[in-house]
Every structure is written in C-alpha cells, then in structure tokens.
C-alpha cells in the first residue's frame, strides 16, 4: 500500500509577526544573544525565526557597576544596565558583522532616556534593510531616569510609541514591563499610539542579599529577575494582553522548551522570545526549534497558526 502523504506531512512550524513571515516563532531575546555573530561560531543561527539584537541607545553606555549578576532558584537577577557601544558604532561595526552570518530580517531593540533619544536611535537605524522590526524597550528595570520609567505609565508609554512611529515605516513592537498593576492599560495605550505589536514580559524586579556581607549581592541593589520562575506571571500577562489589544503579541518569560513555546502561543503569542535560557545553554534556541515538530505531533497540532490564542476559546 502507498503511504498517506497528507498525514505524513510534517507539522507547520512557521509563524507570522506584523506581516513578516518567520520560519519558526523562536526569537532569542535582546541582551542574551549579542549581535548574533557571537553565537554563529557555535551553530548556523539562520535556523532561528529571527533574533532581537543587543539593546541600543543613542550614546555608548558602560552599564552598571559590578557585580551585575546573581543566581537564584529557577532563575537569575541581572543589572547590566543597557551596556552597548551606541547607535553609531552599531551601524558602523556591529550590523555589518551581523549581515555576514544572518540572512533573515532581524529585530532591532532600542532604548533611551528621553522620548527624543528613542526617536533618534530608531531614525538612525531605520535605513538598515535587514532590520525587520523595531522592539522599543520601555521596560528595563536596571537603569535610572529611563527604561522602565516610560513603561509604567500609559501616557509616557504612548509618547515614546508615537515618537518612534513617526520616524519609521517598519513595524514597531513595544516591550512592556511586568512591574505594573494593570498590564492591559499600558498595552492599550501603546496600541492607540500606533504600535504594531506588543512584546512581554521584560524582567521582574528582584534582589538577593549576601548573608556574609549582609548587603545586596548586586551593586545596583536590585535587578531584573528572569528565568523559569517567572513563566506563570509572564503567561498570565500574555493572556491578558491578547484579550485587550488587536495587534500581535510576542511572549517571553521563562521559556526553555518547545512545550513552553506552545503554551505561550495558546495564551495568545504570535511568536516567542527566549532569554535567560541562552545564558544557561547557548544551544537552547536550536534545541527548542529542532524539538518543536515532535512536540506538536505529540499534541496533534498540525500548524502553529491554528493554536494562537486557542486557550481563550
């Protein structure tokens, strides 16, 4: 007897984000994957759906004082503080190196300390053909006078979104902080101001204390808590935001397996970002992508597009 080719067809792991097709929904999160070429020495990073490159600001930043990292149960705390070479250096050095190893649209993560800085950085990067989306980080908890201060107030979030929207025709995805009372109000304000998508969540605010020194482990005292421990909070917020807005949602927070990917997509995510897992295992995203078809078959899922938001049914 001949094989039933229809039933033998592999599951469709492709996804779509703001009108751009992805071979799969797995995107390494900003700050955990550099500018890509660092990981390209380990494996062909073109297996990825895309990746969000290192958070970029107008001026060069050294970041916060050390120590910046603290381990904790089922996660980690970081207070790197947006260390990056500045947008001009990124244009001159980092993106050319990225182009050599990655042939797909990339997500440009930008941040700032004023509305004008966000707009300036976006405008400088806008001409780069390889940049498919701008991920506007208004949620970094590790810097003072910027980052999360824009993401905890709906009107401030809307102002940043509107300013970036005016200087680019590319999709604008606003990255939100979980450190708020009502995540849906921030998401709706960004949508009304012109956002094409929402990504969430950034890190929670956490800390560790050294029992020997009796002082905080991190020099910044507090930092961004990420890893598997935050997944239930992140999943809940993705679920809420999917109901609150009509634009696509990118889910993140504690993802380390193909099962986690499916769970976030069922909650409403069109794509996902993997963060802390890359710091534990540099092959994490590759392993997730390779295992995704088998896990989909296990749960009788023929295509990812059919499960986005299915948990709301």
Query: Using an 8 Å Cβ cutoff, are 293 and 252 in contact?
Result: no
How many whole angstroms separate alpha carbon 23 and alpha carbon 16? 9
- Range with the lowest mean pLDDT among 3-7, 189-193, 228-232, 255-259? 3-7
Give yes or no for residue 202 having a pLDDT over 90.
Answer: yes
- What is the reported pLDDT for 37? 95
pLDDT per position as a tens digit, 52-97: 999 999 999 988 889 999 999 899 999 988 899 999 999 999 999 9
- What is the reported pLDDT for 143? 45
The residue written with tokens 């909650």 in the block is 267
- What is the reported pLDDT for 5? 44
How many whole angstroms separate alpha carbon 154 and alpha carbon 274? 26
Give yes or no for residue 313 having a pLDDT over 60.
Answer: yes
Rounded mean pLDDT of the chain?
93
pLDDT confidence band for 149 (50 / 70 / 90): low
Tokens at 151, concatenated? 């993401």
Query: Using an 8 Å Cβ cutoff, are 27 and 15 in contact?
Result: no
Domain CATH code at residue 32 = 3.20.20.70
The tally of domains found in the chain comes to 1
- What is the reported pLDDT for 152? 81
Contacts of 121 (CB under 8 A, 6+ apart): 56, 57, 58, 87, 110, 111, 112
pLDDT confidence band for 142 (50 / 70 / 90): very low
Where in the sequence numbering do the catalytic residues fall? 140
Q: What is the mean pLDDT of residues 32-55?
A: 97
pLDDT per position as a tens digit, 230-263: 999 999 999 999 999 999 999 999 999 999 999 9
* Proportion of the chain above pLDDT 90, given as a percent: 87
Q: What is the mean pLDDT of residues 6-12?
A: 78
pLDDT per position as a tens digit, 277-304: 999 999 999 999 999 999 999 999 999 9
Give yes or no for residue 21 having a pLDDT over 70.
Answer: yes
Domain limits for position 73? 5-312
Helical spans, DSSP H, in the chain = 5-8, 37-40, 87-89, 95-101, 115-125, 154-165, 183-192, 231-244, 258-267, 276-280, 284-298
């Amino acid at each position: 007897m001949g094989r039933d080719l229809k039933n033998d067809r592999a599951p469709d792991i492709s996804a779509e984000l703001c009108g751009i097709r992805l071979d799969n929904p797995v995107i390494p999160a900003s700050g955990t994957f550099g500018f890509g070429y660092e990981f390209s020495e380990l494996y062909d990073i073109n297996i990825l759906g895309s990746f969000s490159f290192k958070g970029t600001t107008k001026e060069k930043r050294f970041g916060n004082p050390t120590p910046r990292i603290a381990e904790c149960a089922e996660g980690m705390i970081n207070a790197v503080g947006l260390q990056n070479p500045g947008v001009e250096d990124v244009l001159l050095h980092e993106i050319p190196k990225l182009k050599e190893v990655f042939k797909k649209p990339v997500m440009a993560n930008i941040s700032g300390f004023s509305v004008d800085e966000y707009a300036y950085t976006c405008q400088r990067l806008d001409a780069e053909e390889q940049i498919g989306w701008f991920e506007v980080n208004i949620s970094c908890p590790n810097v003072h006078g910027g980052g999360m201060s824009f993401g905890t107030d709906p009107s401030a979030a809307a102002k940043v979104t509107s300013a970036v929207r005016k200087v680019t025709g590319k999709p604008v995805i606003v990255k939100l902080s979980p450190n708020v009372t009502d995540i849906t109000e921030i998401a709706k304000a960004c949508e009304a101001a012109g956002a094409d998508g929402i990504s969430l969540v950034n890190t929670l605010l956490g800390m560790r204390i050294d029992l020997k020194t009796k002082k905080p482990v991190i020099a910044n005292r507090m930092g961004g808590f990420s890893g598997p421990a935050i997944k239930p909070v992140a999943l809940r917020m993705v679920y809420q935001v999917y109901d609150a807005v009509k634009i696509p949602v990118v889910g993140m927070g504690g993802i380390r397996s193909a099962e986690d990917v499916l769970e976030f997509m069922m909650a409403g995510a069109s794509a996902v970002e993997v963060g802390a897992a890359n710091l534990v295992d540099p092959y994490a995203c590759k392993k997730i992508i390779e295992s995704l078809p088998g896990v989909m078959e296990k749960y009788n899922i023929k295509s990812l597009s059919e499960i986005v938001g299915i948990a709301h049914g």
